[in-house]
Amino acid sequence: MPAPLLMIAATFLFATMGVCVKLASSYYDAGEIVMYRSIVGVILIAALSLTQGRSLRTRLPAMHFWRSLSGVTSLSLWFYALGHLPLATAMTLNYMSSVWMALFMMGGAAVLGSARIDGRMVAAVLLGFGGVAMVLRPTMEQQQLWYGLAGLLSGILSALAYLQITALGRAGEPEYRIVFYFSLGGIAAGTLTTVTSSLVADRNGWHGHSFKSAALLLAVGLLATSAQLLMTRAYGQGKTLVNASLQYLAIVFAAIYGVTLFDDPVTASAIAGMSTIVIAGLMATRLQAGKLKDQPLLIGEA
């Protein structure tokens, strides 16, 4: 299958996963969803590695730890936001990661004095922040502000995670191994979060299962892992900038899902804000391409 079709399929699966996370949030806390999603990922990646004769042993446990810490925290915050915000809004805030990456790169260049700050990068970052202001405007009511900040923070941590993925890739770690240890981190973090909340709230943090809720958890894991594998193959076959641009279709799919399934409000401010963030992300991605050569500029789920 051509790389653009692989990427379109991946974005559709990621958006569909967002629907399942939003529905599963009625039955489980974010930590539980992260844990079960990660269990499915570990099983699938381990099975694929075994059948293909690939090794899961790593020489870089410390790098995997820090990548998993930022990535799993980002994932948890994103799932938390997905449960309480309009689907497209939560998806867009997480997809701000490319803009945050641009900001981090600018900050690093300024501190080290190694490069002149690109005015176009500054413009992309400012444009992205303007888009965030427009997206959050419909959700600035007091009961939703925290969820919007959680979604925004998930994008910041995603950017950190992707910079660490780049470092792991340059150190020779294959993508499947990075995803495997990320999923292991998700199991540990999800379990720890649930147990801690149980102790603090003095209640049983583990929720029971029904056929519907268990099916949603399985769907989250299968969709997320399948989307990651498709995205990885697309980057291996196609052009980085084309793939990075197509990833933003996940926001379009999420908006369609949100309107048709959840009756999410469609406001001019939200649409303008999402469009602005997509434009800013594309600008930042194009400018980053020359600075992170031979590494996929990933967006979306950390």
| Domain hosting residue 268, numbered range | 3-289
Least confident among 155-159, 199-203, 277-281, 284-288: 199-203
56 falls within a domain: yes
Mean pLDDT of the chain: 82
- Residue that the structure tokens 């792991």 belong to: 168
**Within-domain flag for 297:** no
Statement: residue 129 has pLDDT above 60 = yes
What is the pLDDT at residue 204? 62
Reference 249, options 181, 286, 300; nearest CA is 300
The answer to the question of residue 285 being in a domain is: yes
| % of the chain with per-residue pLDDT over 70 | 85
Residue 50 falls inside a structural domain: yes
Does 212 fall in a domain?
yes
pLDDT in tens, 105-119: 777 666 656 556 667
Cα–Cα distances in Å, from 22 out to 73, 75, 269? 18, 13, 23
Q: Over 70: is that where the pLDDT of 237 sits? A: yes
Quick: pLDDT tens for 262-274: 988 777 877 888 8
CB-CB contact of 158 with 116 (8 Å)? no
- Please name the residue ranges forming H helices in the chain: 3-24, 30-51, 61-82, 87-94, 97-112, 119-136, 142-170, 175-201, 211-237, 240-246, 249-262, 268-289
Q: Is residue 103 part of a domain?
A: yes
Contact 41, 177 (CB under 8 A): no
Q: How many structural domains comprise the chain?
A: 1
State residue 277's pLDDT score.
80
Provide the 3-class DSSP secondary structure of residue 202. Answer: coil
| Count of residues making up the chain | 302
Residue 92 is predicted with a pLDDT of 84
Residue 271 lies in a domain: yes
What is the rounded average pLDDT of the residues 162-184? 86
Mean pLDDT of 151-169: 85
Q: Is residue 284 predicted with pLDDT exceeding 70?
A: yes
Per-residue pLDDT at 290:
58
pLDDT digits (tens, 9 = 90+) for 24-65: 999 999 999 999 999 999 999 999 999 999 999 999 999 999
* pLDDT at 286 exceeding the cut of 80: no
Structural tokens at position 12: 């559709």
Residue 22: predicted pLDDT? 95
Q: Residue 276 corresponds to which tokens in the numbers above?
A: 């602005």
| C-alpha 37: how far from chain center | 13
Residue 302 counted as domain residue = no
What span, in angstroms and rounded, lies between the C-alpha atoms of 177 and 173? 7
